[in-house]
Structure formats: structure tokens, C-alpha cells
A and B are shown apart, each in its own frame.
Chain A
Amino acid sequence: MTVGKDVSALFPDVVNCMQTDNLELKKLVYLYLMNYAKSQPDMAIMAVNTFVKDCEDPNPLIRALAVRTMGCIRVDKITEYLCEPLRKCLKDEDPYVRKTAAVCVAKLHDINAQLVEDQGFLDTLKDLISDSNPMVVANAVAALSEIAESHPSSNLLDLNPQSINKLLTALNECTEWGQIFILDCLANYMPKDDREAQSICERVTPRLSHANSAVVLSAVKVLMKFMEMLSKDLDYYGTLLKKLAPPLVTLLSAEPELQYVALRNINLIVQKRPEILKHEMKVFFVKYNDPIYVKLEKLDIMIRLASQANIAQVLAELKEYATEVDVDFVRKAVRAIGRCAIKVEQSAERCVSTLLDLIQTKVNYVVQEAIVVIKDIFRKYPNKYESVIATLCENLDSLDEPEARAAMIWIVGEYAERIDNADELLESFLEGFHDESTQVQLQLLTAIVKLFLKKPTETQELVQQVLSLATQDSDNPDLRDRGYIYWRLLSTDPVAAKEVVLAEKPLISEETDLIEPTLLDELICYIGTLASVYHKPPSAFVEGSRGVVHKSLPPRTGSSESAESPEAAPSAGQAAEQPAVIPAQGDLLGDLLNLDLGPPVSGPPLAASSVQMGAVDLLGGGLDSLLRSDVGGSPAMGGSGFTAPGPAAPAGMGAPLGSGLGDLFDLTGGVGTLSGSYVAPKTVWLPAMKAKGLEISGTFSRQVDSISMDLVLTNKALQVMSDFAIQFNRNSFGLAPAAPLQVHAPLAPNQSVEISLPLNTVGSVMKMDPLNNLQVAVKNNIDVFYFSTLYPLHILFVEDGKMERQMFLATWKDIPNENEAQFQIKDCSLNADAVSSKLQGSNIFTIAKRNVEGQDMLYQSLKLTNGIWVLAELRIQPSNPSFTLSLKCRAPEVSQYVYQAYDAILKN
């Protein structure tokens, strides 16, 4: 507005104009204040008087304006003066002032949360939910939701059937925006049974006809969420499913940007409940004038909806798209044809012939893309379509992209016995071996070895050539390793080599790009929001505490579900066994507490917490064993088995225990991580400047029994990056990647990708200095980069680090005193219980607690992955924010790092 000039020098003059009668001018002055008060906090005080006066003005517009503006001035001194006027405005007779004041509470909370709580504004805000004016209600709901989000634990918006009823009434009367606030808030409510869920659904359904797409999407969110609770046998369930389809389709006639948001959400809905839109395939056909982002999303949904019934139409469409102009779109269309072939078996033949037609067009990128997908088709239907290989071979020369070349080479190697000139073909690739990308090199190596095993006589020379190229002339460790392995295999036992290299491959699965079920369930709770557009949980892109609360779908109630979720049964069995064990352990602990180390301070609470500890422990173990025995399921899927607390589970155990366990089950089901181990925020490990544009930031985390390195790779260069790989140097605890670095797609410029790399501790060990130093090498198609990072020691604390009490005493005495190290943890305001529960999340277990002369003493143990035990004594004085930590360990060099871990965990 000021053309970029800083006009803060005029502050006093502008403030003088404040007391004008001209509303227009007043607004401008206020706008000026909002922009510049922060740079002149002392002068801003001058304005306070006028604000306070304006808050009493007879004109409600001016009162509201004053209270609105005051909230926007983020100067601490001003906020104190704001309280009184705000209190008055919250009770103003005019609804316009009240609705403005409601939002102002949220503003004030953002500046000074404590002040808002002390002044009791939250209660006033809660009262406004029952206001007679719908707009006031809507704004109060919005403000409360926001405040509640930053205090996940507080029960601010305690929604109960009465307040829900009020909200539903206001829903019919307020503005479109108000309806969105209310619906978003309703989505957080957990109805107590299916009947309540149904009655809310009935009252929300009319919103599906609203002209505002956001209202529709928010209503869809509420319905999708509460539908979980309805029994599938219910007539209403079917009616609701039918009612959902038309509004979703109608969203596609909105403006393109909204279509995009709608399509991203429909993508989720289709994965969650395919039955809703299964007959609506046609509406997702691409229109000529759709923007490219809409086209690409529509294509995605078309594949998801493809079935035997509509495959003919879909294929005809996709073939049409493959002749369009936009390269990305064409590529995706070609890929989609391949995915259809894999998904709908009956159509595979037609898909292949369509792909062959496309290859005949000789359009370079179409051909390459087609070859990549045909490779997948071969893997799904082996020995069925090999007749097309000849056609593919004709196009060998035109392939210039690594992925297509690698795919082609794979095909040649896999079917070497049927291709007469396979050796010539592969030899032609071999000429430029060093110029190829790693992907192609590796594939070429494997293909030639396959060829050799199939036709040993004529290809001996070729195989030697490639082995020497890979092992002697290459500096790529992966390639070299693979080369050596093959070489050794071939030279020692060709029969074994055959078994290894030509082993039967598992068929690839139908859908490779589905969103993981727990994430999908979480995203369903975020329909309409950014999370659903990005297909990432909010924690992935929101900073700070906001949005970190994981939302989960309500468990289904009613009788039918035990039959439909077989996984519920084993989990129920698991739970039923536990009650017998837990009390025993609880008793044992209780007894132990009485043994020595002074009298127990507070018997019951402590006992209760230790019971819970025991439960965590057991459950952790139980969960692990369950997961391991689970044949094909990924860990997360195994975890989701626990979401439905089978009706049998709580029965038969003591009431308090039952509820405790119930909580625990929720925990596992919702998040998939059992222990809330502390995870440090990501830091940049490898700046882009040092690595030709590749930036790596990351952190370490520990979940039940597994350590992972969470990385974010960002491509800040101008070229696409691909072929990522990672290796660790030997380190103190033998950390090593448990799986290769999986970056599925090449990383385009300005893109980032988040990867969680599982680690294990079976690597080779070498003592590093500092002890927790980790040297990492990351490779991509451009170069190899090295960096080192320090990992927090607590990722190495194992789950069974709880020492028995006598053991602890004995060990403590046993370790010589010179091995004891003392540290100060400064500025930590937690109390003893909070400390021990926080530490327990990171596998530091409190064995006993004692109160000596007003000081709390916590005795704790932990165990590292390599079996080193560390014993700790933590002294907490209520008045002193510094804790004293004494650590005893047989390997005293770890103490310092254990202290660092303590420090980090407690301060976060």
C-alpha cells in the first residue's frame, strides 16, 4: 500500500488522527496501526486510550472495529488493556460486536494463552455457543476449535449431545462460512452409539445441496466419519451411500481449482468406500478444456474405478488421451493402461494390444512409457504375452530414458531364451556402459548373467566383460558388490547361481499406489482440508503443536463387525490373556516397593502407574510377536487390527484395568506407534550448496523395536535426480540401513520427498568420536555425497530396558563409584510423574520413586541395543528448575550421551 516505503516515522501523527468521526478515516488509521504497532511498541500505547473509548462508542460498528483491531495489534503491553473492553464486548447487546469479540478471544489466545485462561475468557466463549445469534455461535465455535487445537489435552470443546444439538440448530441458520466452521467442529465429535451417529447424519445430509462446495465437502466429511459407526445391514447405511454420490459428482462442475480439491478428496473416498462412485466412471472422463491438474487427477480416479464392467470404455478413453499434446498427461495415460491390465485381469489382453498400437505411433515418450508398463505386465502375467517382445525389440534404439532402458534390458534378460539375438542386443548396450545411469548398469549386469545362465556356450565372453566392467572399472559400490556376488556365485557353484538368479519371482500386486490404510483413515478425518489435498497427515506440513493430534475414525459399533474383521478376534484373545498377568506384576511391584528404599510415598497412584507400565510392556511385546507372525501384513496393517476393540476384549477383566487397556488399544490403533518416543525436529544435514543441489534434512526416531531415519530429500537443482542410494560408515553401535533407500520416482526440481529409512544395529562396529557420530554417504545419479550427523542416543534405548528392582540395587552397588557421572538438567519445569512418563515414552524406565526431604528421587534404568545397561538417579527439587542426574554404567563413556538424550527428551 505504501509502495514499499517504511512510513513508521509518521506514527505519532497518524495516531493523532485516530479520534476522528469519519469511519473511513478511522479504518485507515487502524490499518496503519496494525501494520506498524509492532515496530513502535512504545508509541502504540498512545493508541490504547482511543481504543478503549471506541469500545464504548454508541455505534456498534465502531465498537466492533475497535475490538477487532486491538486484537490484531500484537504488542504485549496493549493486550493487558484489551481485557476489559473485550470482556464487555463479549457480553455486548449487539450480535455484530459479540461475533467480532469471539474471534478476538482467539487472537488474544494466540498472543498470550495464559492471559486468556486467567481472565476466564474461555468460559465466556463457551457460553457464546448457546447464543441466540447463529453467526455468534459459528464464530465462537471457530475460535474454540482453534484454541482447542493448540491444547490437545484440554477438554475445551467438550461436545455432548446437548451442545451438538445446539450446533445442529445453528447450522440451519448461519452463513455459509459459519456452516463450514460448525461442520468441521462436528467432525471431531465422537457419537456414543450408532443411533446418535445416525440422527446427526440425518440432520447434516441437507447440507449436501448447498451451493458452497466447502459446505458440501465438510458435510461429506462428517458423514464419512460417522458412517463408520453405522452397521452395514442398516437400511439407512445404504441410503446414505446413495445420497453421497450425486453431490460429489456435482462438485466436478465447479471452478477448476475447486474441482482439483474435490478430485483429491474423491480419490480418498474412492479408496475408502469404492461402492459410492462405482457407477459414475463417465463423469471422470477428461474434458478438452480441463486444466492439466484436473486432467491428471481425473485419470487417477478413472484407474481406481476401473473394473470389468467398464474397462472397455476406460480403455477407449485412455487410448484417446495417449494422443493428446501434454507430455505428462500422455505418459500418465499410457501408464494407466498398464495399471488397468494389472488390475482387471480379463482386460489384460486388450490393454497389451492397445499398448502395442501406441508403440506403433513411434512417438518417443509414448514408446518408452509403454515399455516400462509392459515390463510390469510381464511380471503380473508371466509367460503370456511374450509374443510382443519382437515389437519391443524394434524400438530399442529410440529409448533414451534410464527407466525405459532398464525395463527393456530386464525384458531381454528375463526372456533371453526366446530372443535369438539377445546377446547382440545386450552387447549393444554394453558399449556405453559407463555412460549409463546406475539403474541401467545394474539391470544390464543382471540381464547378462541371466543370459549366461540360459545360454552358457555363446555368452562367456560377454559375461566376463560385464563382470569386469562392473567390478574393476566402476566406483559405484552397489554395482561392484553385485558384480562380485555374481562372479563368485558363477565361479563356485553355477547350479546355485541358477537357483538364485533365475529364481521364480513373486507376482506383483494389483494396486501398488494405494494409500496405506491407517493413513487413509486419518486423511478421511481431514476431508476438505489441505491434508486431503496433499494426501499427507497435517504433521507433515504444519509446524508446531497444531495439527499434531492424530484423528482416527470412530470404531464401528453394532453386532456385525466381529464377523467382518477377523483380525479383531486374535487381538481379543491376546487381550483376554493379559489380565491374569498384569495384576501379578502389579502386586510384585507393589511388594518390591515395600521392600526397601524407604516407604512408598503414595501407594495407590504409584501402583496404578506401574500397572500401566507393565501393560505397555506386555502389549509392546505382544504386538511385536503378533506382527512377526503376521504373514504378509505390513506393521501398520497389523496395528490396525486393534482399532476395533472387539466386544469380548474388555469383558472378563477388572473394570479399571479394562479401561486402561482400552486406552492403550486406542493408542495403538490410532497412530500405529506404541511408545511416544521423542523425535527431534528435522535439521539440515547436507546443505544443497555442498551437494550439487541435493538438500538432505532429517531426524531419527524410534518406534516399537525399530529405529528409523526420517529423511527429507529436496532437489534444489535444475535437473531431475534419481537412483538414490545410501550407506553408513561403520559406527559405534553398528547402525546400518535395514532396507535400501526407496525413492520411487525421480525427484523433479524443487520437489521434496520424505522417506523413512528403517535401521538396524547389526552393522559392523567401530568406535567413533564423538560416540554418536554417524558418517553417511548418499548417492544419486549426479554424484556421491558424504556428510556426518550425530544421532540422539535414545533411539538405541530398547523396550526391555526395565531392570528388576533387586537387580538394580545390586548393579548400582556393583558398579564402581568412579564410573558415576553427574549432570545438571537445567530449566525443566516438569514434576516427577510427568518426567517419568515422558522418559518412559523413550524407553527410560522408572523403577522406583522416593521422596527424601522434599526432593523426588527417581531411580531409572535403560538398556542400549548392544546390551549396555545404564542406571540413573534423577533428583528433582520442587523449587529448583534444575534436575540432578547421576548416571552409573559399566561403560562410562556413554554417560555423556545418555545425559544429552535426557536433556532433549525432557525439554521437548
Chain B
Amino acid sequence: MIGGLFIYNHKGEVLISRVYRDDIGRNAVDAFRVNVIHARQQVRSPVTNIARTSFFHVKRSNIWLAAVTKQNVNAAMVFEFLYKMCDVMTAYFGKISEENIKNNFVLIYELLDEILDFGYPQNSETGALKTFITQQGIKSQTKEEQSQITSQVTGQIGWRREGIKYRRNELFLDVLESVNLLMSPQGQVLSAHVSGRVVMKSYLSGMPECKFGMNDKIVIEKQGKGTADETGKSGKQSIAIDDCTFHQCVRLSKFDSERSISFIPPDGEFELMRYRTTKDIILPFRVIPLVREVGRTKLEVKVVIKSNFKPSLLAQKIEVRIPTPLNTSGVQVICMKGKAKYKASENAIVWKIKRMAGMKESQISAEIELLPTNDKKKWARPPISMNFEVPFAPSGLKVRYLKVFEPKLNYSDHDVIKWSSSTFREHLPGPSTQIDRPCGSSGSRLSCLCSVTTHAATEVQNQGTSTIKLLFCWCLTTCIIS
């Protein structure tokens, strides 16, 4: 198991050192500093073995977190734990920086004592931890409170405490998708997959039971032809999900047997699920780059983007980022639409368009002056990237329903569910995105990454059963073309 945990700053000075096992000596701290932080070459592996001691490290801004062990530990678990540790620290004091760590070091030691016992990770849900690890000094709790804390920390629903109360019960749902696209130089799509995340923000009272449904092909097919009339409406009714993973609050055995997603949500923001699809991906934009080298000191770039969706829909906040070589001395840009600027600090031309309807195209051309260099190091030719918002999801994912049921407080009811699913269809054209990108001078290879955010907010008000209002807003489609 984990033998010790160290946190270093960028210079390699130890900020936090907590040793759990006897086999980890004092010299382990230095061994890592010398061999990894101060190593001359780039780090070639996140796992390093120095003198029979294994070090796992992750880096957050310029802070190094390293876990040490001498045993054959579960490596995946150690990394998962390190990420979790970062999440917990972020939840407590914001950004992980040297200053924040120094200011909170008592707190960090306290956390380390609680979430790692003899190298075994224990409950590390922030919600639960915050009930008894506070920075205010614990007021003497009553006996009930104490046992409530312990039963929560060890209980089956360790991620949520009892007795949460909100005046307004609200639940927000975001669908964020990123498209990864690989194109051949001829413009043929080699592979494309969407990895999506469903992020929830829940502000609900009590212990609500939630049920989440989407247009998953398997479920739809199971339900049979009863809903056959619906299929005609929007063409693509269901999507084939290749794989999905869930937050620990979701009952996996239930998903396995019935494919229904039911859970008691933690309070606040969390990632409910991740999914991956590869079939029938809608690509909203097409990027066609042309790069021409004119002599050794000049580069001509032309980029065309074409929107590839229904003309009635609008894409917004489009931002195209065209990387330029490091030895760029000046850039002249001409674009037909939107604004474009060369940002020397970022080594890129940034082109912004506020709105663009479907089935349109726009282009930018730029002349890049280069300083002659004899630097032999090649330019890595980073990909062109693109961000935008569109009102549909590339994967075609749609939220079918989100049911909330709280047995004691009773702020939810069947009406909500029906209502919500119908509103959804009309209002939420769903967001989606697509991208392509070209790279470097030859323009030979395109691979794209695009992310889309669908944002649906469900507001459930606790004013009796009939006046429940649902709001859906969609938002943010971000797409990075890599």
C-alpha cells in the first residue's frame, strides 16, 4: 500500500511529507527530488523506480504530488487517489498552489490523516469530510451529531449527508461532449468518437432518489414499438452508446440488469456519467486549411470553415485558433467575417466570429513573416483548434427524463416527469459540435477534438405538487480542433 505521500514545489522543496509505513526512509524524499524533479531530461514515465522504491507522481500547475511505496501496490488506485486528493484540496481551499498549501498545511495533514490510513484510502468524499474536518475548530457536537457523522462516513451513502435543506430545490444538468476526429489528408474521416460527460449540480433537500433517462438505443428498443410515432419526428431517436462509466452514487447492478440509471446524488456539483459513442456522429463544422511556404521567411495560410447543419440553426461564439511558428515576426490577416488578431504571447492567430448560420462558409487568410533561424529544432506543428456553441449534440444524445423522488419531503411527483420530457424535446434542440483541423505546413493530417456542452437546468420548486416549473437552457459548445 501507499507508504508515504510528499508534496513538492517546483524547486523540489518539500512542502508536505507524510510517511505511513516504516519501510519508507527519509532519503526517499531526496531520491525523488534528485531523480525526477531535477532530472535533466523530460519525465518519461509517471511511475519511477529508484532503488526498489516506486514513486507515482502527478503535477498540478507547478506542484508535484508524489506517492511512495515499496510494495506491489495497485497502481491505478494510487493515481486515482492522487487525483482525488487534488479534488479534495481544491474543494477545501481552491487552486493548488504553493501559497495555498503553505497556508493550509495543518488542514492538509488533517485530511491526509483521515483519507489515508496506513496507506489505505478511506472515504474521500468532500461532502462527508467537510462535516467533521473544518478549519473553524470543531464545536463540541452533540452525541447524535457525532454518530450521524460516523455513520455517514462509513455508510452506504458516504457521499451525502442527511438533513440537507434548500428553500428552492434545483437540479442542473450539463451534457458536455468532445469530439475526437481524425482525418486523412484527403479529407476522409478516419475515425471519430465522442466522449461525453453528464455533469450535475444538485441543490435538493433530503435524500432524493433520482432517475435519469436518455435516448440510449438499448433502452428504447426494449420499450418496443409503443413509442413508434415518436420516431418519425426528429429522425435520430436513439443513439448507440459504446460504453459508459458512472459516479459511485449510481447503482451499477441496477444498470447492469435493467439499464436504468438511478442514484441518490451528492450535494453540489458532480460528474454523473461519462460515455463514449462512435456511430453516426454529426460534425457541425468543416475546416479546410491551406498552408504554403514562400521562401524561408514567409508562410501563407488560408483557412476556410464551413458550417454543416440546418440553415435555421445558429452557431455562436466561434473561435478558431491557428498556431504560428515560434520565429514569427509579424502577421497580416484578412478575414471576411468576424475579427482576427495575431497574439504573439500565445503564438497563434485567434479568429472570432459571433454568429454563423448553418450551411455557410467563411475564410481567413494570413501572411506570416518568419525570422530566419538556424535553429534545428523542428516546429511541433500544433493542430488548429476551434471552439463554438451549437444547439445540438454531435453524438445525438438527448435527455429523456430526469425523475426526482424524495420519500419524506415529497417535493416531486409524476407530473413533473411527464412535463419535463415534453418540454425538453421542444426547447432543447440540444447542443452539438463538430470540428476538423489541419496542421502544419503540409496540411497532411487532420485530427480534431471538439467539445460540446448541453446545459439543461431543471428547477424543481417545492411549492406543492402542481406548480413545478422546468427551465432548460442550453449553453456552451466548446470545440477544440486538435
Contact = CB atoms under 8 A, between A and B. Distances in A.
Interface of A: 1, 21-24, 27-28, 30-31, 58-61, 64, 68, 71-72, 74, 94-97, 99-100, 103-104, 106-107, 110, 133-136, 139, 142, 146, 172-177, 180-181, 184, 203, 205-207, 209-214, 216-218, 246-247, 249-250, 253, 255-258, 260-262, 282-283, 285, 287-289, 292-293, 313, 316, 320, 324-325, 526, 528-534, 538, 541-543, 546-547, 750
A247 B106 CA distance: 39
B150 interface: yes
A531 B242 CA distance: 30
Contacts of A146: 1
Interface in B255-273: 255-256, 271, 273
Nearest to A245: B243
Interface stretch (B133-141, B203-211, B300-308, B461-469): B133-141
Given A24-B138, A103-B120, A146-B1, 8 more contacts: A23-B137, A27-B109, A100-B117, A181-B120, A214-B77, A217-B76, A257-B58, A293-B45
A128 to B, nearest CB: 12
Contact of A543 (B52, B106, B248, B273): B52
A283 to B, nearest CB: 8
A649 B287 CA distance: 67
Contacts of B248: 175-176, 210-212
Nearest to B439: A288
Contacts of B256: 205-206, 209
B128 to A, nearest CB: 10
Interface residues of B, number: 96
Q: Which of A253, A528, A538 has the most CB of B within 10 A?
A: A253
A94 B154 CA distance: 9
A276 to B, nearest CB: 13
A172 B252 contact: yes
B447 A288 contact: yes
6 contacts: A74-B22, A135-B154, A214-B77, A320-B445, A324-B380, A547-B72
Contacts of B117: 68, 100, 103, 139
Contact of A260 (B45, B137, B190, B449): B45
B105 A1 contact: yes
A16 B130 CA distance: 29
Interface string B41-52: 011111101001
A141 B273 CA distance: 29
Given A27-B110, A325-B380, A541-B52, A218 B137 contact: no
B92 interface: no
Interface in B224-246: 242-246
A238 to B, nearest CB: 17
A449 B444 CA distance: 47
Given A106-B118, A214-B74, A209 B49 contact: no
Given A95-B154, A107-B118, A289-B482, A210 B445 contact: no
A253 B49 contact: no
B153 interface: yes
A112 B252 CA distance: 41
Contact of A246 (B106, B184, B276): B276
A581 B175 CA distance: 73
A292 B77 contact: no
Q: Which of B54, B71, B72 has the most CB of A within 10 A?
A: B72
Contacts of A526: 72
Given A246-B276, A258-B80, A529 B42 contact: no
A210 B271 CA distance: 12
Contacts of B380: 324-325
B62 interface: no
Q: What are the 10 tightest A-B residue pairs by CB atom distance, in nearest-first order?
A: A246-B243, A96-B150, A214-B76, A206-B256, A214-B77, A538-B72, A206-B252, A257-B46, A177-B121, A282-B191
B401 interface: no
Interface string B377-401: 1101011000000000000000000
A260 B46 contact: yes
A94 B150 contact: yes
B70 A542 contact: yes
- Helix, strand, loop or mixed for chain A's interface? helix
Contact of B46 (A104, A214, A250, A293): A293
A247 to B, nearest CB: 6
- Helix, strand, loop or mixed for chain B's interface? mixed
Nearest to B82: A257
Given A94-B147, A95-B150, A257-B79, A61 B156 contact: no
B405 interface: no
Contact of B47 (A58, A255, A530): A530
Contacts of B247: 211
Interface of B: 1, 16-17, 20-23, 35, 42-47, 49, 52, 54, 56, 58, 69-77, 79-83, 105-106, 109-110, 113, 117-118, 120-125, 132, 137-138, 140-141, 143, 146-147, 149-151, 153-156, 158, 180, 182, 184, 190-191, 193, 195, 242-248, 251-253, 255-256, 271, 273-274, 276, 377-378, 380, 382-383, 439, 444-445, 447, 449, 482
Given A261-B76, A285-B191, A22 B137 contact: yes
Contacts of B124: 175, 177
A115 to B, nearest CB: 16
A253 B72 contact: no
Contacts of B132: 61
A22 B182 CA distance: 59
B28 to A, nearest CB: 13
Contact of A287 (B151, B180, B274, B276): B180
Nearest to B22: A74
A22 B137 CA distance: 7
A176 B249 CA distance: 10
Contact of B190 (A313, A324, A532): A313
A41 to B, nearest CB: 14
B382 A288 contact: yes
A27 to B, nearest CB: 6
B252 A288 contact: no
Contacts of B110: 24, 27
B76 A134 contact: no
B54 A184 contact: no
Given A184-B74, A212-B80, A250-B274, A31 B113 contact: yes
Nearest to B112: A31
Contacts of A96: 149-151, 153-154
B54 A142 contact: no
Nearest to B159: A175
Contacts of A533: 47, 75
A315 to B, nearest CB: 13
A211 B159 CA distance: 14
Given A134-B156, A172-B253, A255 B35 contact: no
Q: Which of A72, A95, A211 has the most CB of B within 10 A?
A: A211
Contact of A142 (B120, B253, B449): B120
Contacts of A255: 58, 79, 83
A176 B125 CA distance: 10
Contacts of A324: 380
B76 A528 contact: yes
B140 to A, nearest CB: 7
Contacts of A538: 71-72
A207 B76 CA distance: 15
Nearest to A313: B190
Contacts of A180: 74, 77
B42 A292 contact: yes
Q: Which of A99, A184, A203 has the most CB of B within 10 A?
A: A99
A59 B141 contact: yes
B154 A99 contact: yes
A211 B245 contact: yes
B77 A528 contact: yes
A256 B46 contact: yes
Q: Which of A139, A214, A289 has the most CB of B within 10 A?
A: A214
A217 B71 CA distance: 18
Contacts of B49: 534, 541
